[in-house]
Structure formats: C-alpha cells, structure tokens
Amino acid sequence: MTTKRQSALDTASELIHGPRNADYGPPKLNFQRIAHRWTQILKVDVEPWQVCLMMADLKIARMCEGYTEDGPIDIIGYAALMAELAPDD
C-alpha cells in the first residue's frame, strides 16, 4: 500500500523529471535564468538554489489561505531541485 507521503514524493519526482523539465527546460538552466533576472531587479546576487528556496516559500505563503493538494508536492520538488543546485562545499 502506498502512503500519502510516498505518493507525494513520487508525484514530485515525476513532475520535476518529466513535464516540468519539458515545459521549462533543464532545471539548472531555468533557475540560472530566474536568478539572473532577480539579481537584476533586486540589485543583489541571487543564486539558483535560492530561487528554489524562494519558490518553496511562495508556495508556503499561498497555503496560508488553505491547504491545496499540489502545495506539498511543489515544495518537495523545489527542495529536491535546491539540493541539486546547491553549491558543493
């Protein structure tokens, strides 16, 4: 039996490796583009992994109005991409 948590993990993985990849291009390139634009607007350096952090925070802020089924799935996806894009120390 699949648990809700496993289903959320599986769905997020399917999205970031499938439709989202096809819609927006490779995550590294897509988040680099966003980081570049936000850097221009904010006049501070924004890194691609920080874009993931802020997008997850956006989802959390939206969920303050109420639970949505896609909220946790999107947050999981952003967290996974953040781990991939974080600098190696």
Say what the pTM is: 0.92
Place of tokens 């952090």: 53
Residue 19: the pLDDT is: 85
Residue 21: the pLDDT is: 84
Nearest to 54 by CA among 82, 29, 73: 82
**With 80 as the cut, is the pLDDT of residue 89 above it?**
no
Task: With H, G, I as helix, E, B as strand and everything else as coil, classify residue 26.
Answer: coil
Q: Where are the alpha helices (DSSP H) in the chain?
A: 4-17, 19-24, 27-42, 48-63, 70-85
Residue 1: the pLDDT is: 82
Residue 88: the pLDDT is: 87
- Tens of pLDDT, residues 27-74: 999 999 999 999 999 999 999 999 999 999 999 999 999 999 999 999
The C-alpha atoms of residue 34 and residue 22 are separated, in whole angstroms, by 17
